[in-house]
Amino acid sequence: MALKKTIMLLMMIMVMQTAAAEVFVFKIHYKDGGAEVVDRLVKDGFAPDRNIDEGDASFEMFDTNGNILEGFRFALPLREFVDFSEEGIVKGGVIVYTERDFGIVVPYHADAGGIRITHSSEIILYEDMREKFGMRGMGLGIFLGIAFGLIAGAIGVFLIKRMRKN
C-alpha cells in the first residue's frame, strides 16, 4: 500500500513538472493599418482555445527556423459595440477606432522567434526572428552577464593554474 502511494506521488510529481501551462501576453499598439508589439511577457496561465476560428486578422508565431508554432484568425478589436438605457429606451452604436492598444494571449513556446499579424492579405506587423524571445525570465542583459561571468571565470581558472605551474 505504501509502495502504491509512493509510486502515485512520484507520478504526480512527474506530471506536475510538465503540467504547468505558460503563455505569452503581447501588448500590441495598432494605428492606421500598422501595428507593433510594445510589450510582452511570459507567465503561468491559460490561452484562449479559439474553437471559433474567424475574424479579419491572423496571428502567426514562428520558431527561429521560420516554422509555424501557432496560427489563428481573430477579429482586430477596432469596433466596439456600446449600449445603454435611458428612460427605458435602449440606445447605443458602434465606435470605430483607428488607434488602439490591445492584448493577445498565446500559448508559450520556448523556441518562439517571431510573430506576424496580418490583416486580410496585407501584412500589418512583422517582427523578425533574430531575437529568441521564448526564453523565460532571462533578459538579454542577464544572459550576456552570465555568459561573460562564465568566460571570465574560465580565464581566471586558466590563469591561476598557469601561475601555479610557473
Partner 1 sequence: MRAQASIPTVFIFVIVVLVGALLLWVGLSRSKELQAEKDKVQINDFVNSMNNLIRMYDIKAPGSFQKQVFSVPGEYVCFYDKEKEINQPELGVWTERFSDANVFMAPFDTYVPRHAEQFSLNSSNNPSCTASQNGKISLMFVSLGNRTLVVPESAAEISDCVTLSYSGSPDTKIDMVFVGGYEGFEKDVGEYIEELRAIAPFRENNRLNFYRIDRPFSCKIVEIIECDEYELKKLASECPHDGIVVLAERSKIAEFINPVRSSSIGGIIKVNTADNPRVFSHEFGHFFGNLADEYVDEGYYAGFEADQFPNCDVMPCEKWSHVSSGCIRGCSLQKYFRSSSVSLMRDYITSDSFGVVNEEILKEKLRNYR
Interface ranges with partner 1 (CB under 8 A)? 5, 8, 11-12, 14-16, 19, 23, 25, 27, 39, 41, 43, 45-52, 74-77, 79-86, 88, 90-96, 101-105
What is the closest distance, in whole angstroms, from the C-beta atom of residue 135 to partner 1 in the complex? 19
Q: How many secondary structure helices (H) and strands (E) does the chain include?
A: 2, 9
What is the closest distance, in whole angstroms, from the C-beta atom of residue 128 to partner 1 in the complex? 22
**Closest to partner 1 by CB, 13 or 163:** 13
Whether 73 contacts 57, CB under 8 Å: yes
**Closest to partner 1 by CB, 105 or 129:** 105
The Cα diameter of the chain in Å comes to 95
What is the closest distance, in whole angstroms, from the C-beta atom of residue 132 to partner 1 in the complex? 22
Cα distance between residue 125 and residue 116, in whole Å: 6
Q: Using alpha carbons only, what angle is made at residue 116 by residues 113 and 120, rounded to the nearest 5 degrees?
A: 165
**Closest to partner 1 by CB, 75 or 157:** 75
**Cβ neighbours around 160 below 10 Å, total:** 10
What is the closest distance, in whole angstroms, from the C-beta atom of residue 115 to partner 1 in the complex? 15
**Closest to partner 1 by CB, 53 or 131:** 53
- Cβ neighbours for 129, distance < 8 A, ≥ 6 positions apart: 62, 64, 66, 113, 114
What is the closest distance, in whole angstroms, from the C-beta atom of residue 145 to partner 1 in the complex? 27
Three-state secondary structure call for residue 92: strand
**Closest to partner 1 by CB, 82 or 163:** 82
